[in-house]
Amino acid sequence: MWRAAQYIFLGTLLILWPVTIISQNNTRTFSFEELYAFCDTIQQEDLFITLRIKWLTDTVEIRKLKQPVRWYLDNGNTKEQHRSYLQTPSDTLELITFMETAAQNCYSYALEQYFKHLHLSSQGLFDRSTHLPTETFKTILESTFTKQHTRLIKSSRLNNSFPDASIIVFINNHGWMTHASFYHAKHFHSKNVATIPVICKRVKELYQEYPDTRTIEAYSIDSIRIWEYLEKK
Q: How far apart are CA 88 and CA 189, in angstroms?
A: 35
Q: Are 167 and 149 in contact (CB under 8 A)?
A: no
Please give the Cα distance from 122 to 112 (Å, whole number): 6
Q: Is there a contact between 187 and 201 (Cβ–Cβ < 8 Å)?
A: yes
Q: Which helix (H) or strand (E) holds 191?
A: none
Task: Give me the pLDDT at residue 72, please.
Answer: 57
What is the model's pLDDT at position 156? 53
Query: Over the stretch 15-55, which tens digit does the pLDDT of each residue have?
Result: 334 454 444 444 557 789 999 999 999 999 988 999 999 99
**What confidence score (pLDDT) does residue 121 get?**
83
For residue 232, count other CB atoms closer than 10 A to its CB.
7
Q: Does residue 189 register a pLDDT over 70?
A: yes
Please state, in angstroms and rounded to a whole number, the distance separating the CA atoms of residues 189 and 110: 7
Give dist(CA 180, CA 189) in Å, integer.
9
pTM: 0.82
| In contact, 52 and 61? CB cutoff 8 Å | yes
pLDDT, residue 6, reads 44
Residue 78 clears pLDDT 90, i.e. is over it: no
**How many Cα neighbours within 13 Å face the side chain of 193?**
9
Choice between 91 and 119, residue whose per-residue pLDDT is larger: 119
Question: Per-residue confidence at 146, pLDDT binned at 50, 70, 90?
Answer: very high
